[in-house]
């Protein structure tokens, strides 16, 4: 369906919140949302793939390395508590080496002692065993080992590109963005090109005295790939979310990365609905009242993000109802409410044609960043 060219509209609902017709045109453009990505069921929110390193030595130093425990455990804790299932993949598959093994951290301890996830991290999938369409996001955990085995792993890059181009989220923390440097999209551009990106900085690499050991400096490589690099002072948390790519600077940023990914995922599960009603002139006022009651009640529901209605100025018997809910189950649940049933009861006699309904993807995803966490920009409802 193409965007509406209607130039005039009038508000239907009382109160300070209204939609302009330009907003409607934008929303109608968004109705085309065919995607090959697997959609979460109402019972299960979906699956997130965590990528961890298989490399266990810091160059020629002989010093051990691996995935940094907190950079897995902290985002894992956020996402699992929100209802997501986590799978693990590594370049070689099997048991992944671990670094930063600090069980004094209660979240690290919680992860390490979870029997299900301990089994998963010690039996990671090979990239060839991963079906990208099963996942709504991929997270590249850090640890110095990633600098050696993430950048040139074509299979991992392809998995991440597929998830991203299926409207999924790509995230990485600390040295995890080493997995992003060679990801190319179907348009031939690097994933990070033109996006605000964050990672372990050159200053931090110098501070840990590994700037001469790693094969390249991550900050410099990301800039080379076209990223707009943002950072805070060394070892201070910093998280950037830009166009469904979430990146964090260091281990101190791991929890905030998890929270930022969760916010991005909310925009995947959120659902919008546009409904057009063509009403008989003699039923116009009765239908208007029922619609007003519907919107008023919907706005009071915890699962509702937006509810608006208006009539077209040139066709005042044509009503539009615009809704946005946290997920499809909330929308369906409200369908059993008294106001919803009242509208349904009027339809057979009040409408002169069957209503037109369009289910749309969430339209409010925006660019966000924070030096100490994450900020969600809420939908603007203009007075």
Told to judge if 205 belongs to the known catalytic residues of this protein, a careful annotator would answer yes
Which of 205, 230, 264, 308 is the catalytic position?
205
Told to judge if 174 belongs to the known catalytic residues of this protein, a careful annotator would answer yes
User: 47-51 and 85-89: which strand pairing?
Assistant: parallel
Question: How many C-beta neighbours within 10 Å does residue 130 have?
Answer: 23
Secondary structure, 3-state, 196-223: EECCCCHHHHHHCCCCCCCCCCHHHHHH
Extract the tokens encoding 174: 């600390």
Which of 55, 175, 238, 374 is the catalytic position?
175
Which of 71, 74, 139, 174 is the catalytic position?
174
User: 304-312 and 318-325: which strand pairing?
Assistant: antiparallel
> Phi/psi at 367 (nearest 5 deg)?
-85, 135
- The answer to whether the beta carbons of residues 69 and 52 sit under 8 Å apart is no
CA atoms within 13 A of residue 293's CA, in its CB half-sphere: 14
Contacts of 195 (CB under 8 A, 6+ apart): 227, 228, 242, 243, 245
**What is the rounded CA–CA span in Å between residue 224 and residue 94?**
33
By annotation, the residues acting in catalysis are 174-175, 205
């Amino acid at each position: 369906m193409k965007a509406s060219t209607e130039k005039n509209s009038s508000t239907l609902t009382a109160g300070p919140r209204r939609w302009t017709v330009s907003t409607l045109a934008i929303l109608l453009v968004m109705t085309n949302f065919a995607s090959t990505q697997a959609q979460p069921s109402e019972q299960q929110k979906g699956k997130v793939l965590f990528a961890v390193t298989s490399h266990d030595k810091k160059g020629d130093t002989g010093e051990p390395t691996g995935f940094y425990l907190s950079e897995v455990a902290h985002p894992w804790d956020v996402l699992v508590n929100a209802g997501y299932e986590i799978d693990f993949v590594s370049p070689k598959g099997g048991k992944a080496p671990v670094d930063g093994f600090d069980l004094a951290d209660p979240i690290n301890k919680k992860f390490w002692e979870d029997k299900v996830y301990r089994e998963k991290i010690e039996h990671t999938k090979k990239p060839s065993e991963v079906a990208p369409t099963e996942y709504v996001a991929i997270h590249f955990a850090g640890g110095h080992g990633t600098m050696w085995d993430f950048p040139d792993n074509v299979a991992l890059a392809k998995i991440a590109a597929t998830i991203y181009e299926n409207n999924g989220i790509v995230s990485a923390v600390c040295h995890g963005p080493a997995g992003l440097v060679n990801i190319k999209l179907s348009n031939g551009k690097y994933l990070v090109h033109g996006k605000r990106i964050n990672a372990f900085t050159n200053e931090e690499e110098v501070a840990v005295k590994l700037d001469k050991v790693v094969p390249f400096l991550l900050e410099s490589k990301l800039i080379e790939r076209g990223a707009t690099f943002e950072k805070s002072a060394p070892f201070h948390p910093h998280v950037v979310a830009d166009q469904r790519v979430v990146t964090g600077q260091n281990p101190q940023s791991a929890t905030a990365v998890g929270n930022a990914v969760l916010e991005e995922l909310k925009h995947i599960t959120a659902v919008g609905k546009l409904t057009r009603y063509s009403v008989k002139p003699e039923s116009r006022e009765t239908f208007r009242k029922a619609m007003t009651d519907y919107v008023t009640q919907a706005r009071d529901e915890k699962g509702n993000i937006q509810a608006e209605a208006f009539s077209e100025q040139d066709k005042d018997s044509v009503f539009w109802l615009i809704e946005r809910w946290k997920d499809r189950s909330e929308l369906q649940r409200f369908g059993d409410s008294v106001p919803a049933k009242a509208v349904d009861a009027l339809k057979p006699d009040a409408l002169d044609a069957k209503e037109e309904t369009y289910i749309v993807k969430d339209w409010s995803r925006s660019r966000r960043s924070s030096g100490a966490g994450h900020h969600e920009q809420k939908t603007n409802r203009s007075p």
